Amino acid sequence: NSDLILYVNMELVNEKSYRRYIVEEILGQGTFGQVAKCRDVETDNYVAVKVIKNQPAFYQQSLTEVSLLSTLNRTFDPHDEHHIVRMLDFFACKNHLCISFEMLGQNLYELLRQNGLRGLQMKLVRSFSKQILDALIVTKGAGIIHCDLKPENILVTQNAKTDTEVKVIDFGSACMEGKTIYSYIQSRYYRSPEVILGYPYTTAIDMWSFGCIVAEMYIGIPLFLGASEYDVLRRMIEIVGVQPPDDLLREAKNTKKFFKHVGSIYPGNEGHDSIGSPYRMLTEEEVEARESQKPKVGRWYFPRRRLDSLISGYPWKNLEEGNLPETEKADCLALVDFLRGLIEFDPNK
Ligand code: ADP
Ligand code: MG
């Protein structure tokens, strides 16, 4: 695409900057390309360079990443106090857009996996949550929706002042509130009900993902683990204990993928609090009958539990009534209370 090359040459190429880095190892791969640990020859510091795939769509979206992140860094977090990754530079190299960032540590998913997926200590859950929330207050204030909050996009790093710091990275899917373009966003386990159901979305979708991450930090595995959007939505309803509000279901574009319109006096859905709602979620059999053409995917089975029993009685947490120290019990109740505010179907709340 000659326009593209011209644009790169005229606006972006900064020979000095792209010659400074020596690639030492690959840190990660993602949808957008690869991230390499590089040494800055002039300063001898390490930086992380994201090398974007050289396709126009990725290039365009990555320019959005550059512009939103530089706005966040410069205007909304000038002193690097709010746990958002710092962008150092961007340049073109062999027709690839490259973005360099401060070098951070491993991602939260790697940390959870290292821990045998048993979850982190409450102390860390609290500290990390507070830091991520701090970042989200800033992004919300800037009118920016991250759109892909998940453990892989939270990096853990050792900091001289505080003990362990976390930072939010990867604004590669981010957009401005009120200028939302894409409907297929967020990673499935962290996808908000309004995105699944096809309802206009706001910065509130990041708050939903944040709730999912907080729960996962404590229990060690995704709260809404599901092999399909249907599974994820079903699990949300089980855990929250109610289905999404009727107003949302009425206006959302995808409601009929998941719900049957059954009139206004349906007697309730398997114990879910849908009494009086004109909508009933399709049963698994109904969905399977519809999708019998599609190949079957493996499913994870979970006992049905509500959030409080899930958090306070998760098997490997050994937190059964009785053997729970008073301090931990109070912490669990506080965590559930906190999560209830985040795992909320009504985006306005
Ligand atoms: P993508 O948009 O392709 O997901 P990311 O920006 O999320 O790209 O980077 C992919 C992975 O690379 C991350 O999950 C993380 O493990 C690693 N990574 C990204 N940025 C850094 C950084 N600044 N320091 C260390 N590792 C990083
Ligand atoms: Mg990522």
Give, using CA atoms, the residue closest to atom 5 of ligand 1.
Answer: 170
Tokens standing for residue 37: 């640990």
* pLDDT exceeds 90 at position 246: yes
Is 130 annotated as contributing to ligand binding?
no
What value does the mean pLDDT of the chain take?
A: 84
The rounded distance, in Å, linking the Cα atoms of 239 and 225 is 12
- Determine if ligand 1 sits within 6 Å of the CB of residue 61: no
The phi, psi pair for 172, rounded to 5°, reads: -70, -15
Instruction: Record the pTM.
Output: 0.86
Give, using CA atoms, the residue closest to atom 19 of ligand 1.
Answer: 35
Q: Distance from the CA of 97 to the center of ligand 2, in angstroms?
A: 16
| Strand (E) or helix (H) holding 194 | helix 193-197
Q: What was the pLDDT predicted at 293?
A: 57
Give, using CA atoms, the residue closest to atom 6 of ligand 1.
Answer: 170
- Measured CA angle at 255 (ends 254, 256), to 5 deg: 90
The rounded distance, in Å, linking the Cα atoms of 229 and 180 is 21
* pLDDT exceeds 80 at position 313: no
From 26, 27, 69, mutation site for ligand 1 pocket: most ligand atoms within 8 A of C-beta: 27
Give, using CA atoms, the residue closest to atom 3 of ligand 1.
Answer: 30
Q: Which atom of ligand 1 is nearest to the CA of 107?
A: 16
Furthest-apart CA atoms within the chain: distance in Å = 72
Q: Write down the ipTM of this complex.
A: 0.99
Q: What was the pLDDT predicted at 162?
A: 64
Q: What was the pLDDT predicted at 12?
A: 47
Per-residue pLDDT reduced to its tens digit, 66-123: 999 999 999 999 999 999 999 998 888 888 999 999 999 999 999 999 988 888 999 9
- Determine if ligand 1 sits within 6 Å of the CB of residue 49: no
Q: Which residues pair with 98 in a beta bridge?
A: 51, 91
Q: What was the pLDDT predicted at 20?
A: 76
- Determine if ligand 1 sits within 6 Å of the CB of residue 151: no
Q: Are 145 and 139 in contact (CB under 8 A)?
A: yes
- Ligand nearest, relative to CA of residue 31: 1
Q: What was the pLDDT predicted at 118?
A: 85
- Ligand nearest, relative to CA of residue 30: 1
Q: What was the pLDDT predicted at 316?
A: 43
Q: Which atom of ligand 1 is nearest to the CA of 103?
A: 24
The rounded distance, in Å, linking the Cα atoms of 110 and 150 is 12
Give the mean pLDDT of 149-153.
Answer: 97
Per-residue pLDDT reduced to its tens digit, 162-194: 689 999 999 999 999 999 999 999 999 999 999
Q: What was the pLDDT predicted at 251?
A: 96
* pLDDT exceeds 90 at position 261: no
- Determine if ligand 1 sits within 6 Å of the CB of residue 148: no
Q: Distance from the CA of 153 to the center of ligand 1, in angstroms?
A: 7
Q: Which of 30, 211, 216 minimizes the C-alpha distance to 117?
A: 216
| Selected residue with higher pLDDT from 39 and 314 | 39
Q: Which of 198, 173, 197, 199 minimizes the C-alpha distance to 187?
A: 173
- Ligand nearest, relative to CA of residue 150: 2
pLDDT class of 46 with cuts at 50, 70, 90: very high
The rounded distance, in Å, linking the Cα atoms of 191 and 290 is 23
**Side-chain-side CA neighbours of residue 84 (13 Å):** 30
Q: Are 50 and 99 in contact (CB under 8 A)?
A: yes
**Residues tagged active-site:** 148
What SS3 state is found at 47?
strand
Q: What was the pLDDT predicted at 323?
A: 57
Tokens standing for residue 161: 């002042």
pLDDT class of 208 with cuts at 50, 70, 90: very high
